[in-house]
Structure 1
Amino acid sequence: MPTDTNDAKPARGKKKKKIDLDTVRKAVLVASWLHEKKGRDIVALDVTGLSPICEAMVAVSATSARQAKALADHTLAMCAERGIAYLGMEGYRTGQWVLVDMNDVLVHIFLEETRDFYNIEGLWSEAKPIPLSFSDESGKGPQ
């Protein structure tokens, strides 16, 4: 399992082709991965010009620390599978607020009560929402 460091790597002997996604497509893709693992209340925000550290944010609620860690693990596994780079992760140990830094996209995985307390959407109320739609109820979102 990953810790608070960059330790998710593709399996040995498999060379993953790096892919280049624009920020909005990457945020939508990450949101679909979170939806696959039953993340709740998924929101994507375009913070271009508002944040000096990223261009988009994805926020999701988890029902438990265990689910928060599973959402983070799945996100990193999908990044490795698709050849999408990430810079690091914080908060994994406690699972209350896990932050995955994908350079231009920050992924915030919160326990429901922690998300309410920090009110990320309120802090970034000037951000433009990125539309999300998940194609069916089986958990498969945009590809």
Structure 2
Amino acid sequence: MLNKEKKFAEMASVDKARDVAGWLDAKQGERISIIDVTGLSSVTDMILVVSARGVKHAQALASHILDKAAEENMEFLSMEGHKTGEWVLIDLNDVLVHVFLDELREFYNIEGMWTEAPRVEFEA
């Protein structure tokens, strides 16, 4: 019989999103928003949006998420935009994290695309 160990930690999407929001808050991420798109999106269950004060801050926030995800044994699929740091997308499978510079956050208006989706509260 094969030993089937779970590769990644099992946790509810909302709990994972709250954990990530806490990590971002600890690193001074600004205007953190969690959007529950369960049943509305075929790609993910939770969308997390955060503003960074500048390119270096955005890169640091993204790197921190990767470090903490590895530490917590969370699934990580991909990251885009880290090099430019203006809009970094981190795919944690059931949680998508958008790290934006403020002006790009306003321009792309991710929250506005999901006005029908409930927002998730978290403790900062």
- What TM-score range do you get, normalising by the shorter chain? over 0.9
Match of 1:27 among 4, 17, 40: 17
> TM-score w.r.t. structure 2 length?
0.92
1:77 aligns with 2:67: yes
CA deviation profile, 1:23-66 (whole Å, cap 9, x unmatched): 00000000000001000000001001111100001000001010
Equivalent-residue separation in structure 2 for 1:57 and 1:129 (angstroms): 10
Equivalent-residue separation in structure 2 for 1:119 and 1:19 (angstroms): 31
The secondary structure found in structure 2 opposite 1:66 is helix
Aligned to 2:92: 102
Q: Number of residues paired by the alignment?
A: 118
Aligned to 2:104: 114
**1:28 alignment partner AA:** R
Measured on the aligned residues, the alpha-carbon RMSD in Å equals 0.9
> 1:19: Cα distance to partner?
1.8
1:36 aligns with 2:19: no
Aligned to 2:45: 55
The unaligned stretches of length 5 or more in structure 2 are 1-6
1:64 aligns with 2:54: yes
**1:55 alignment partner AA:** D
Identity %: 48
The unaligned stretches of length 5 or more in structure 1 are 1-16, 135-143
> 1:112: Cα distance to partner?
0.6
TM superposition outliers: structure 1 runs of 4+ over 3 Å: none
> 1:101: Cα distance to partner?
0.2
